[in-house]
Structure 1
Amino acid sequence: MRFEQDNNETAFVPQDMVQANDSSWNGRAIMLLDLDAFFASVEQLDHPAWRGKPVIVGGSADARGVVSTCSYEARAFGVRSAMAAATARRLCPQAIWTPGHFSRYREMSRQVMAIMESESPFIQQVSVDEAFLDITPTAHRPESPVSVAMRIQRRVHELGVTCSIGLGVSKAVAKTASEADKPRGITVVYPGREAAFLAPLPTSRMSGIGPVAQAHLKDFGITTLGQVAAADPDVLRRVFGKNAEAMRARCLGADTDGISAGEPVKQVSNEISFAHDLTERADIEAAIGTVAAKVGRRLRLKGLSGSTVSLKIRYANLNVRSAQKRLPEPTNDEYVIAAHLRSMLGDLWHPGTAVRLVGCGVSRFDGEAPVQDSLFELEDEAPDASLPSEEQRENLKTATDMVRDRFGEYAVQFGREMRTRQNLTGSSSKNPADYK
């Protein structure tokens, strides 16, 4: 276990000695739990013969797949999440490959979240394998946050997987600390030690400072979080715009963002990449129907209807174009969504053009103003006149939702979905929308 001490040194303390060395906690306590190599760990749990061996969960190396995650044994060879599967295969040819079993990951994730919820109701799940928890001591529950974090880690381990935990006074500190001692680590940053803990770390360690911002900061000679915290306000505004002071607060460990059980949903979306480029309109329309069906179901599960639909196309040359369209009334009906997307296709695609990815999004919930973030916005037009009647669509959606709720998402598949699934890369992400 790693502690940031008052003497500006980092100490590692055996977990069975923590109680004797723990000091009282003064202020808010936020922890971030990050499951270690989660998908791969579940696979090793379910396949004992794979334990101790390099395991890669991801798409096919022969079909433009990418690595979803990999075991620490595979990481020793340089394999990383989001790496092209072909590159991962070259680095670790002896690895065990699996496309993943996502219903199993969802099941394990729910068990982990249930453990966290049993310790505190203030939980914010970030993804299938990551969540914040507010464990601030109270008059009714004065227990040390360190003890709570240790108990959660132990209970997760009893499930057969491991986690790393960061503990501090803010979400930014907890997130950064969770990455300091992996796997199976707990890094505790006591109140008052935030700035000293963060200061020497590279800018890449802070959530919200991406590669572009890192490059801009480096142009000003800024490479550490401490330098960000001390930077001239004009410099930070040039890099972060209106978020300049919020980012300075993060780098000081002084951000005040609390735990939110559910951020407002701004868009529900889905996209799929293809192992082989699509060049025929019928294939692209089948893919549009597939992503629209996923989005429609997610909208209904969340109790949402949106009045702006968007279509995204990535071509074989990796260029991307998108368009959005305002509808006369909100919908969560995939048949209506797909019909509008098909009517937009001609503005983004011409016969013979190779397509690598198709995406669909629905936004503008509860009458909010539309967000103009696409290449252009299309005026409202009537969708495909060949749509089934509203009653027929409602009956079909209700029936398929009932079957999928009981037997799983792939219990019912239409021709468009079967046609599209034959050409997928087999890769998947950790987008929380895919696992809830």
Structure 2
Amino acid sequence: MERSIVHMDLDTFFVSCERLNNSELNGIPLIIGGGDRGVVASCSYEARKFGVRSAMPIKMALKLCPDAKVIRGDHELYSNLSHLVTEVIQSKVPVMEKASVDEFYLDLSGMDQFFGCYQWTKEIAAAVTKETGLPISFALSNNKTVSKIGSGESKPEGKLQIEPQNMQGFLNPLSIRKIPMVGNATFQLLSRIGIRTIHTLSDMPVLVLQQMIGKNGIELWKKANGIDENPVIPYSERKSISTERTFSNDTMDMVSLKGLISGMAEQLAYQLRKEKWLTSTVTIKIRYSNFDTETKQCKVSYTSADHTLSRVALELFQKAYTRRMRLRLVGLRFTGLVHGNHQMDLFEDTEELMNLYQSMDYIKNRFGAQAVGRASGFDLENKNRLL
């Protein structure tokens, strides 16, 4: 049976959310992001005409578009509207995957016998806009990669159906940057040997690509040829992420305890980023040697940055630990999770911090979660991680 896979993408999601709240922002160049040293989290199409792009330093963006209005952003507003869109889509489709705060995959395979899949998708998109006020684009094809590329090409408020017989003709003239797994490093590597369009990439011998970029070369060749068998994964919200440590010997060594908590925060924050979650609530738990248990909780702006989460966790520990008594357990939990990508972290990140996290995550992904970390999370005497 031929699959019918839809990718839906909310247009300039953060910008659209802000404009729902304030109609005076309509039609003007708008940038969502941090302060002077921050980066662009999102920008309106009016700003993009001047060359402004996501992840660009704010200072550079304002040089390109001096008249742009900069808004710091409202995590709670974006989260609430994302949940509302999720509910609208989930109520109308058999299988939905929430890929990020503003992206969704739908599997409508077999539904053509009841409705036309394209017509049905148009009705879902119309329902989203009617019930939330947010513009949305979509593309329908037989796999996730082509549909994602298609929705990007159809923006804003685009509607696109890519039939299997037209798939390669659609992909061929596009830049290889349009393939989701092609980052800047891969683009530069392939560009140096003259591979800049998907057509050229699709004609490359797959073994040559594998030799150039490793096992990802096969996957890249498949995507360039419109081949993607990845399923749509049914969506379910994760409620929390946590870790705790029970000591073999009760302790009140404050240096080690604080190092442990810092390491816990770093470990959990890395897991958040890896799984594309953001947290809004931090909870610390301690258990004294007499088994009395204390917890302290704090709300934070949505984040997955360990420097922020570590600081909050340590502050909560200071408030929770009020007795001169040994501890037998320390735990840390993040709740109030929303599914989102790094884009939402950009509100607090400077360009330097973004580069630091990207580098650390790259090393951890390649060599393991314990390969690199902050010194506070290490037992320097034994040269081991405290976790």
Bucket of the pairwise TM-score, normalised by the shorter protein: 0.5 to 0.7
Q: Distance in 2 between matches of 1:214 and 1:409?
A: 31
Matched, 1:361 2:267: yes
Confirm whether residue 396 of structure 1 aligns to residue 304 of structure 2: no
What corresponds to 1:207 in structure 2?
180
Query: How far, CA to CA, are the matches of 1:104 and 1:157 in structure 2?
Result: 16
Aligned to 1:157: 129
CA RMSD of aligned residues (A): 4.0
Q: Does 1:431 align with 2:333?
A: no
The 8 Å contact of residues 261 and 310 in structure 2, kept in 1 or not, is answered as no
Show CA shifts across 1:158-206 (max 9, x none): 1211011121100000011011121110121012322221122111110
Shift in alpha-carbon separation, 1:142–1:237, aligned structure 2, 3 A: same
Query: Aligned partners of 2:198, 2:257: CA distance in 1, in Å?
Result: 44
- 2:85 paired with 1:82: no
The Cα shift of 1:120 comes to 1.5
Q: Aligned to 1:339, which of 248, 259, 270?
A: 259
Q: How many residues align?
A: 297
Distance 1:118 1:205 in 2: 30
> What's the secondary structure of 1:44's corresponding residue?
helix
Alpha-carbon shift at residue 393 of structure 1 (Å): 9.0
From 109, 116, 120, the counterpart of 1:148: 120
- SS in structure 1 opposite 2:191? helix
Q: Does the CA-based 8 Å contact 2:75-2:302 persist in structure 1? A: no
Is 1:32 aligned to residue 7 of structure 2? yes
Residues 3-152 of structure 1: pairs in structure 2 closer than 5 A: 27-61=2-36, 64-138=37-111, 142-152=114-124
* Other-structure match for 1:166: 139
Q: TM-score, normalised by structure 1?
A: 0.59
Partner of 1:250: 223
Q: CA deviation at 1:415?
A: 12
> 3-state DSSP class of the match of 1:106?
helix
Question: In structure 2, what is the Cα distance between the partners aligned to 1:175 and 1:74?
Answer: 23
* Alignment of structure 1 residues 165-184 onto 2, 5 Å: 165-184=138-157
Is the alpha carbon distance of 1:106 and 1:236 closer, same or farther for their aligned partners in structure 2, counting shifts above 3 Å? same
Distance 1:361 1:257 in 2: 28
Q: Distance in 2 between matches of 1:249 and 1:390?
A: 58
SS in 2 for 1:220: coil
Give 1:360 deviation, angstroms: 1.9
Say whether the 8 Å CA contact 1:165–1:186 is kept in structure 2.
Answer: yes
Q: Structure 2: any 5+ residue segments left out of the alignment?
A: 249-254, 272-285, 316-338, 346-387
Structure 1 residue 305 displacement after superposition: 3.8
Residue 363 and residue 87 in structure 1: after superposition, are their counterparts in 2 closer, same or farther (change >3 A)? closer
Contact 2:75 2:301 in 1 (8 A): no
User: CA–CA distance in 2 between the matches of 1:414 and 1:239?
Assistant: 39
Instruction: Check whether the contact 2:262–2:313 (CA below 8 A) recurs between aligned residues.
Output: no
Report the identity percentage: 28
Corresponding residue for residue 352 of structure 1: none
Distance, in Å, in 2 between the alignment partners of 1:55 and 1:151 is 29
- Residues 154, 201 of structure 1: alpha-carbon distance in 2 compared, 3 angstrom cutoff: same
CA contact (8 A) 2:9 2:151 kept: yes
CA distance 1:38–1:338, change in 2 (3 Å): farther
Name the one with the larger helix percent.
2
Alignment map for 1:306-317 (pairs within 5 Å): none
| 1:306 CA drift (Å) | 8.0
Q: Give the TM-score normalised by the residue count of structure 2.
A: 0.66
Q: Secondary structure at the match of 2:7?
A: strand
Q: Distance in 2 between matches of 1:51 and 1:393?
A: 55
1:121-168 deviation digits (Å, cap 9, x = unpaired): 3111111111111112347x5211111221122112212110111211
One-letter amino acid matched to 2:163: Y
